[in-house]
Amino acid sequence: EKACNFFGNAFGGYLMSLVDVCGCAAPWTLGKYVVTQTCDVHFIRGVMLGEHVFIEARDVRTGRTSSIADVRIVDEQGNVRLTATVTMHIVRDIKPEDVGVQQKLE
């Protein structure tokens, strides 16, 4: 409820935070520790309180210094609610001690 406006729709900023987390997960699966540089978001249809949606991220390209992921939020019927392209800067490769532990960058 705290992430919704008076009409029961999720705030765009809340959906954007989900996109950011999910977008960064795509290069994480490839062993890359990243930070978001840019995000191009297209809000297609609102998400109402209580609706079930799915967030999908797909790696488009991962190079030496940057990674690009496409992220979509879809409802249970497969209707697209939001699309985004997230560009991330690769900070470094993931180290074994990074898994499951929140650490400061050295």
Is 60 within a domain?
Answer: yes
Is the CA virtual torsion 12, 15, 20, 23 positive or negative? negative
Asked if pLDDT for residue 1 goes beyond 80, the answer is no
16, with CB counted inside 10 A (0-12, 13-18, 19+), is middle
User: What pLDDT, on a 0 to 100 scale, did the predictor assign at position 99?
Assistant: 63
**Portion of the chain with pLDDT greater than 90, in percent:** 60
Domain span at residue 26?
12-95
Distance CA 68, CA 36 (A): 10
Look up the CATH number of the domain holding residue 35: 3.10.129.10
How many domains, in total, are found in the chain?
1
Is 3 within a domain?
Answer: no
Nearest to residue 18, comparing CAs of 54, 45, 52, 59?
54
Is 65 within a domain?
Answer: yes
Q: The whole model's pTM is what?
A: 0.81
